Structure 1
Amino acid sequence: MGLAIVAPNKSEKEIANWIAVFNELDPGIDLQVYPEVGRPEDVEVVVLWQHPKGILKRFPHLKLICSMGSGVDHILADYVPDKVPITRIVDPRLTYSMTNYVVMGVLNFHRQILRYIRDKRSKTWDMSQPEIPITVGVMGVGELGGDALDKLAGLGIPVVGYGNRPKADFRHPYFYGEQLKAFLDKVNVLVCLLPLTEKTEGFLNSAFFQKCTPGTYLINVARGKHLVEADLIPAIESGRISGALLDVFQQEPLPPEHPFWTQEQITITPHIASITNYRAAAPQIIENYKNLLQNRPLINQISKTQGY
């Protein structure tokens, strides 16, 4: 197999880990790593993460495109050969980490942990309203969003889901499509786990915030491009949004001069909610290449038209 790893924002250590596990799983693999791809004509599989735009045109015999993680928006935003399938990584550990992060964010808001951190700095003893009553809405109810809903409901927290299309017999209260306002009316904690598509880019904007219940708390763990960043602080200042926990941003790392750093009601983490485990991911990529050669169905193949 001729395989190329194109992930310029990954560290040398991360790339070395991927190389080691690929060689362990298939010692005969012909592996090239960007930017030192000297034989692009030998590449049949590319493994991508935040790749340089247009690089796929360099591989004339490409048969399979694999995302290094669960997201594929970085691939679909670029030129993709029509007949070349795209797969993503599905890893129970990814789901575990994402759900734990979401539950942490929800409980921190519910039990006012950030307020108590500020109170400690000011030596304030305030026992008023130790719990904020919450109903959590999760936008995007695939594997990650569905698990977050399950775990939150298991804690006794009321939950509601929202997606792009109807779902028969969904296990939680559910809204879709044009029912967005009815969904937002029911929740005061909002978790964004939507896939990034043309339809959802910029979804979290001033018009959206105006539809939210006043005081809604926002958690964005999907993609930075879901949020129109310039619209968030005004929504917080108006009281429509009470605060936010953000793990993803339009530009990463977040620039030092960005106003989110100094906005007290916004909590920032550096895109660490859920990290791909290369030992779980690499076997899926090799399995899919073998499936392709033997004309078997691919695992975790995405729909190019739907964007996920």
Structure 2
Amino acid sequence: MSILLVAKNRNLAPFKEALLNADKNLDVEIWPNVEKPERVQLAVAWNQPKNVFDSYPNLKVISSLGAGADHLIEDSTIPDHIIFTKIYDPSMVTQMNDYVYASVLSILMKLENYRNSEHWDPAPKYSREDLTIGIMGLGNIGKETATYLSNQGFKVFGLSNSKKEIPEIETYTYNDLDPFLKQVNILVNLLPLTKETEGILDLALFKKLKNPSFIINVARGNHLIDEDLIYALDTNIIESAYLDVFNEEPLPSSHPFWSRDTLFITPHIAAISDPDNVASALIDNYKRLLSGMELQNVVDRSKGY
């Protein structure tokens, strides 16, 4: 039996090396160079091409290479009997905490005022009491990020599909979106991408935030309506935004985002999967699959995460 690695425009050699370093008896192949498709029982995928799994008659499980599984759920060519799983990598939590906190500190210190500036004109900084933070999405990463920011002295609110109980953090469900938004200056998006959350970051939402307001999107580009953010930035509805994910990646050089000084762009690097940690999680699930045991981190297709 074998493990198949599938991704477009991504070097999967480090992940194969990590898998073999962890267990030299594994049979690991990287798409499209697959010698024995009938042996594949578990595949690992990231932004896979359509119909790519048609040639693997014994495929039972497809794991996302990251914490999100929307690229699998949206692929209608994958049969319904295939089980989806995702990766929980503790190092990604640390990376996400660092990225979001760095963005929050930039806002707090008003560092955007000095971007490309030749004027020696100090701007009054915000205090922690001036700004409240809202975390949309309280999954494995979101709840840790919310707690981390709370521990840094910020007032933090959380929003999720179902009610969560997190110490020192007031939480809301989707039904209470408006009461949540009106208390928030800095909105951090860590939602899963589903039919319900696609396009949720729009002009109507931006107008409900507490003034001054800021956006940090580290979930998926499809959560954001690009044109609405541009309008909100240009009309000062949103003071500034920090984006690590985009509707099209890499972000085209012609995209109007590049011309906005109040918009900070990074190339999807907020939390990057570590091959060694991914290998450990994959091997555990692979052995569970072969032994008929319950799999870890199974995705609920009906919920989208």
Gaps of 5+ in 1: none
Amino acid aligned to 2:109: R
Is the contact between residue 63 and residue 86 of structure 2 (CA under 8 Å) also seen in structure 1?
yes
Work out the CA distance in 1 between the residues paired with 2:154 and 2:28. Answer: 48
Which whole-Å deviations, capped at 9, do the CAs of 1:124-160 have from their partners, x for residues lacking one?
323x422252000000011211111111111111110
SS class of match (1:272): coil
SS class of match (1:281): helix
Match for residue 119 of structure 2 among 117, 120, 123 = 123
Work out the CA distance in 1 between the residues paired with 2:208 and 2:186. Answer: 13
Runs of 4 or more off by more than 6 Å in structure 1? none
- Are 1:225 and 2:225 matched, yes or no? no
Deviation at 1:208, TM superposition (A): 1.7
Deviation at 1:227, TM superposition (A): 0.4
Match of 2:6 in 1: 6
Is the contact between residue 94 and residue 276 of structure 1 (CA under 8 Å) also seen in structure 2?
yes
Is the contact between residue 25 and residue 283 of structure 1 (CA under 8 Å) also seen in structure 2?
yes
Which whole-Å deviations, capped at 9, do the CAs of 1:50-75 have from their partners, x for residues lacking one?
11012122211111111111111111
Equivalent runs, 1:1-308 vs 2, <5 Å:
1-11=1-11, 15-79=12-76, 80-118=78-116, 121-126=117-122, 128-131=123-126, 133-167=130-164, 169-171=165-167, 172-308=169-305
TM-score (norm 1): 0.94
Amino acid aligned to 1:268: I
Work out the CA distance in 1 between the residues paired with 2:79 and 2:282. Answer: 19
Percent of pairs with identical residues: 38
Deviation at 1:42, TM superposition (A): 2.0
RMSD: 1.4
Is the contact between residue 6 and residue 48 of structure 1 (CA under 8 Å) also seen in structure 2?
yes
TM-score (norm 2): 0.94
Work out the CA distance in 2 between the residues paired with 1:113 and 1:42. Answer: 54
Is the contact between residue 8 and residue 34 of structure 1 (CA under 8 Å) also seen in structure 2?
no
Work out the CA distance in 2 between the residues paired with 1:149 and 1:23. Answer: 36
Amino acid aligned to 1:5: L
Work out the CA distance in 2 between the residues paired with 1:22 and 1:164. Answer: 35
Deviation at 1:198, TM superposition (A): 1.0
Work out the CA distance in 1 between the residues paired with 2:166 and 2:13. Answer: 42
Gaps of 5+ in 2: none
Is the contact between residue 190 and residue 219 of structure 2 (CA under 8 Å) also seen in structure 1?
yes
Deviation at 1:238, TM superposition (A): 2.1
Is the contact between residue 213 and residue 240 of structure 1 (CA under 8 Å) also seen in structure 2?
no
Amino acid aligned to 2:190: L
Work out the CA distance in 1 between the residues paired with 2:52 and 2:218. Answer: 28
